[in-house]
Homo-oligomer: A and B are copies of this chain.
Amino acid sequence: MQTDLRAVLFDVFGTVVDWRSGIAAAAAPFLARYGATGADPFAFADRWRGHYGPSMEEVRSGRRPFVRLDVLHRETLLSVLPTFGIDPVAVPEVELDDLTFAWHRLDPWADAVEGLTRLKRRFVIAPLSNGNIALLLNMAKRAGLPWDAILGAEAVRAYKPTKQAYLRTAELLALAPGQICMVAAHNSDLAAARACGLRTAFVPRPTEHGADQTTDLRPEQDWDVVANDLLLLADVLAP
């Protein structure tokens, strides 16, 4: 597996950072301030994240030109607020922006910074995320994620899991797909990467969706590597 492996690319939301806790923590005071005092901020995070796939599908399908994820997050926030009894028009723009940018301020899982740091010694490491460049940069600066480069959907103007997202990223790195390993907590991301010829590493995050998570608890294919966190992944790839 290590033979000629040059770059290790990472899904970010769920794989490197804990988006659900971060969004819930940012939403809690916001919900209280706008009268949704009984609302569960984790339910709010889940609902907002629920719009993620459908909003990107508009772009993937070609029905909409590429727009960065910040734009989609801002739009879907407006859709979610009424579900929690909040009229978006009553919220100042600056507050809507600030909550949107909570996606820039997510905390990494406890193993992430050290695992990435160890992998960086041997490989090019970069996000291959649907997050936009400013989002990933701000997140990295705040959390200390030591990326070598910021790649992903915006750099190639294509959202995962389209083939273009993986293949154009390989092209930017001037690497063959087989010289790249995709790391994700999501079987579907790895299946798409494998279909493009990338190597695959599954790192389960069994509480990404909370204690009752039912999806992505186990590998669904014989991924090249399965490791329970990024430290163990570094043990395998960069011993």
Contacts and interface: CB of A to CB of B under 8 A. Distances in A.
Interface centre among A149, A155, A175, by most chain B C-beta atoms within 10 angstroms, is: A149
Contacts of A68: 174
Given A70-B174, A132-B174, A155-B155, A124 B137 contact: yes
A172 B141 contact: no
Contacts of A173: 133-134, 137
B148 A141 contact: yes
A148 B140 contact: yes
Nearest to A169: B133
Interface of A: 68, 70, 124, 132-134, 137, 140-141, 147-150, 154-155, 172-175
Contacts of A155: 155, 172
Nearest to A123: B141
A124 B141 CA distance: 8
A173 to B, nearest CB: 6
13 contacts: A132-B174, A133-B149, A133-B173, A133-B174, A134-B173, A137-B149, A137-B173, A140-B148, A147-B149, A149-B150, A150-B150, A155-B155, A155-B172
